[in-house]
Amino acid sequence: MAEFNWRTTWSDMLLRLEKEGWQDWAEAIHQQLHRRFVENPHGDLPRWQAALNQLPDRRDAIVYNDRSEVTVDSLVPLSSPESEQMEQGLRGLMPWRKGPFRFFGTLIDTEWRSDWKWDRVAPALSSLEGRRVLDVGCGSGYHLWRMFGAGAAEVIGIDPGLLFLCQFLAVKRYQPASPVDLLPLRIEELARPLEYFDTTFSMGVLYHRRSPIDHLLELKDTLRPGGELVLETLVVEGPQGYTLMPEDRYGRMRNVWFLPSCDTLLRWMARAGLEEARVVDMTITTTEEQRATDWMQFQSLEHFLDPNDPTRTIEGYPGPRRATIIARKPG
């Protein structure tokens, strides 16, 4: 298999867009990728690319997208040198935060049980069968594979993190022809209004945005009329109108801006012109769902909560509680 090359990595996707009449968008993406990889290369990228290149070439591999562990496997097991290469390559892509994955029998037990989030969200969605799907802030792309497994015709994730991109490519190299792609872009960089997608997900992103209503408008612009928005974010208990803005960090996380109550969030969505917004899930994040593992050895949620009162963060705010809201862009 060829080494990572930014031109070839996205060539099938860009060709598809061009064939479907989206030449302008394809050209804009090409320029953005050029800026990302040629004009502003990331210092750690060569190391992650070297890790990716260690993964053994197995053209007989299959990716299973319908299991809680997104799984790469083949009928013929890896030889022992191949297993060693695989382990070294995957270790070179640590820390693994979003998953779990399984590569030829090796379980990547990630910091997050992202499968639990998917199990909460998936039953409430309109069918993804045949749809074009966007996942904003997709991390390693774990949910991209699950969306494809749920029947989506085309899945595109965006996330600026290049380690996440390399983790995604560790799977994608074993199913290169699948219409599942991760673009290393921020949502602010997408052309507007795009109106390309049937379903757009934004999970775990809104609280990182300084202007939450603008984020909702950005998301709405990605959708075709009548498309579905799936928004998952941190919320707090409180009446309509109530929002928590942490003084500085929240659960040690930098860059956390607005944690609305569910009713406030529903109002924000209505004000952003989204229809039929409804809360389909609310779950308190536990230290079983987010924890340090062998594949993510830094501190995790346990250390971000008050040791004397684990219902509160270390800064004294209410502990993490996440709501999923589904809404529709007017048709």
Ligand X SMILES: Nc1ncnc2c1ncn2[C@@H]1O[C@H](C[S@+](CC[C@H]([NH3+])C(=O)[O-])CC(=O)[O-])[C@@H](O)[C@H]1O
- Cβ contacts of residue 122 below 8 Å, gap of 6+? 146, 150
In this chain, which of 136, 162, 216, 235 binds ligand X, going by CB under 6 A? Answer: 136
Ranked by CB distance to ligand X, the top (closest) residue is: 137
Comparison of 188 and 276: residue with beta carbon closer to ligand X: 188
Smallest distance from ligand X to CB 68, Å: 14
Comparison of 78 and 265: residue with beta carbon closer to ligand X: 265
Comparison of 78 and 205: residue with beta carbon closer to ligand X: 205
Q: CA-CA distance, 318 to 158, in Å (whole number)?
A: 30
> CA nearest 135: which of 109, 116, 114?
114
Smallest distance from ligand X to CB 276, Å: 22
DSSP E strands in the chain: the ranges are 62-64, 70-73, 98-99, 101-103, 106-108, 112-113, 132-136, 154-158, 180-183, 197-203, 223-234, 243-244, 259-260, 275-284, 305-306, 309-313, 321-328
Strand bridging mode 309-313 / 154-158: unpaired
Q: CA-CA distance, 206 to 264, in Å (whole number)?
A: 13
Q: What residues numbered 198-237 form the site for ligand X, per CB under 6 A? A: 203-205, 208
180 binds ligand X (CB under 6 A): no
Over the window 19 to 58, marking each residue x when it contacts ligand X by CB under 6 A and - when it does not, the resulting string is ----------------------------------------
Structure token digits, residue 34:
């050029």
Q: Which stretch binds ligand X (CB under 6 A): 60-68, 110-118, 191-199, 310-318?
A: 110-118
Comparison of 160 and 238: residue with beta carbon closer to ligand X: 160
In this chain, which of 161, 179, 238, 246 binds ligand X, going by CB under 6 A? Answer: 161
Q: Would you say 137 is a known binding-site residue?
A: yes
Q: Would you say 10 is a known binding-site residue?
A: no
159 binds ligand X (CB under 6 A): yes
Four-residue CA torsion sign, 9, 297, 253, 311: positive
Q: What is the 3-state secondary structure (H, E, C) of 176-222?
A: CCCCEEEECCCHHHCCCCCCCEEEEEEECCHHHCCCHHHHHHHHHHH
162 binds ligand X (CB under 6 A): no
> CA nearest 157: which of 69, 147, 86?
147
137 binds ligand X (CB under 6 A): yes
Q: Would you say 250 is a known binding-site residue?
A: no
Please report, as ranges, the residues that interact with ligand X according to CB under 6 A. 98, 112, 114, 117, 136-139, 158-161, 164, 186-188, 203-205, 208
Q: Which residues are annotated as a binding site for carboxy-S-adenosyl-L-methionine?
A: 98, 112, 117, 137, 187-188, 203, 207, 322
